[in-house]
Amino acid sequence: MEYLIVSFTHKNTDINTREKLSFGNELEKEAFLKQVLANKYINEAMLISTCNRIELIASVQCCTNASGEILKLFSNRSELEYGDLKERVDIYENKAAIYHLFTVASSLDSLVVGETQIAGQLKDAFKFALDKNFASQKLSRVMNFAFKCAARVRNITHLGTGSVSVASTAVAKAKQLYKNSSGIKALVIGAGEMSELSCRHLLKNGFDVVICSRNIKKARVLAHNIIMDGNGANYKPSQIDVQPYEALEDLLNSMELLVTATSAPYPIIKKEIVKPFEKERNWFDIALPRDIEEMQIAGVNIYSVDDLQCIVDETLELRASQAKEAFSIVGAMTEEFYVWLKTLSVEPLIKNIRLKSDEIIEKKIQNAVKKRFISSEDTTNIEKLCKSIMAEFLHTPTIQLKLVSSSLEGDEILTTTKNLFGIAVDDETTNNYKEIN
Question: What pLDDT score was predicted for residue 362?
Answer: 93
65 Cβ contact partners less than 8 Å away, ≥ 6 residues apart = 41
- Measured between alpha carbons, how far is 330 from 89 in angstroms, rounded to an integer? 22
Tell me: pLDDT of 431 over 80: no
Encode pLDDT of 157-200 as tens digits. 877 655 568 898 899 899 999 988 888 999 999 999 899 999 99
Q: Where are the beta strands (DSSP E) in 20-83?
A: 42-49, 53-60
19 close to 70: Cβ distance less than 8 angstroms:
no
Which residues share a beta bridge with 185?
A: 208
- Measured between alpha carbons, how far is 245 from 225 in angstroms, rounded to an integer? 20
Q: Which of 141, 144, 209 is nearest to 174 (CA)?
A: 209
Percent of the chain at pLDDT above 70? 90
Among the ranges given (88-102, 201-215, 343-357), the one the predictor scored with the smallest mean pLDDT: 343-357
Q: Where are the beta strands (DSSP E) in 276-432?
A: 281-285, 300-304
- Determine the average pLDDT of the residues in 118-146: 94
Domains of the chain and CATH, by start: 2-162 (3.30.460.30), 166-309 (3.40.50.720), 338-432 (no CATH)
Q: What CA–CA distances, in Å, run from 362 to 206, 325, 374, 422?
A: 80, 56, 13, 18
Q: Which run of H or E residues covers position 362?
A: helix 309-370
- Measured between alpha carbons, how far is 157 from 150 in angstroms, rounded to an integer? 11
Encode pLDDT of 80-115 as tens digits. 999 999 999 999 999 999 999 999 999 888 887 777
Q: Which run of H or E residues covers position 210?
A: strand 208-213
Question: Annotated catalytic, 310?
Answer: no
Q: Which of 304, 223, 291, 221 is nearest to 252 (CA)?
A: 291
Tell me: pLDDT of 417 over 80: yes
Q: Which of 101, 2, 3 is nearest to 53 (CA)?
A: 101
Q: What is the dihedral of CA 203, 206, 208, 209, to 10 degrees?
A: -30
Query: Which strands form 185-189's sheet, in the order they lie side by side?
Result: 240-244, 208-213, 185-189, 257-260, 281-285, 300-304
Please confirm whether the linkage preceding 289 is cis (ω < 30° from 0): yes
pLDDT class of 319 with cuts at 50, 70, 90: low
Question: What pLDDT score was predicted for residue 407?
Answer: 65
- Measured between alpha carbons, how far is 391 from 357 in angstroms, rounded to an integer? 9
Helices 63-78 + 26-37 axis angle, to 10: 140
Supply the pTM of this predicted model: 0.73
209 close to 200: Cβ distance less than 8 angstroms:
no
Q: Which run of H or E residues covers position 241?
A: strand 240-244
Q: What is the sign of the dihedral through the CA atoms of 57, 62, 64 and 67? A: negative
Question: What pLDDT score was predicted for residue 115?
Answer: 77
CA geometry: angle 305, 309, 313, nearest 5 deg? 150
Residue that wins the pLDDT comparison between 275 and 1: 275
- Measured between alpha carbons, how far is 175 from 153 in angstroms, rounded to an integer? 30
- Determine the average pLDDT of the residues in 20-25: 92
Decide the pairing of beta strands 53-60 and 42-49: antiparallel
Residue that wins the pLDDT comparison between 380 and 413: 380
150 Cβ contact partners less than 8 Å away, ≥ 6 residues apart = 102, 105, 106, 107, 119
Question: What pLDDT score was predicted for residue 24?
Answer: 85
Q: What is the sign of the dihedral through the CA atoms of 84, 86, 87 and 92? A: positive
* Type of residue found at 243: Q
pLDDT class of 411 with cuts at 50, 70, 90: low
190 close to 262: Cβ distance less than 8 angstroms:
yes
Percent of the chain at pLDDT above 90? 67
